[in-house]
Amino acid sequence: MSEIITVGLDLAKNVFQVYGADASGRTELRKKLRRDQVLAFFSQLQPCVVAMEACGGAHFWGREIGKLGHDVRLIPPAYVKPFVKRQKNDAADAEAICEAAVTVP
């Protein structure tokens, strides 16, 4: 397994989707996390770029994940939408967020 460089995090009420990619853009991680597992998961992960769609909850999670040493990026939903490749669901959104984080400056 390569080192995860970028993580896309799709926020929801209870179950969050995580998608991680290495430097070449290959999938390294696909995972579901409950709300209480998020901070424990990111504390185990090497510092990397963590991207989320900008929303009210993203600011809270961005501050908490940033405290763990990660570089947090909030991306406007309009910039993420073009990267959704298949049916819209939380897992596909997490992948699109990860890809948008690499592409969008």
Alpha-carbon span 102 to 44, nearest angstrom: 22
Q: Domain 6-103, what fold? A: Nucleotidyltransferase; domain 5 (3.30.420)
Query: What's the confidence (pLDDT) of residue 102?
Result: 86
pTM: 0.90
Per-residue pLDDT of the chain (105 residues; tens, 9 = 90+): 579 999 999 999 999 999 999 988 888 899 999 999 999 999 999 999 999 999 888 999 999 999 999 999 999 999 988 888 877 788 889 999 999 998 866
Query: What's the confidence (pLDDT) of residue 37?
Result: 95
Residue extents of the structural domains in the chain: 6-103
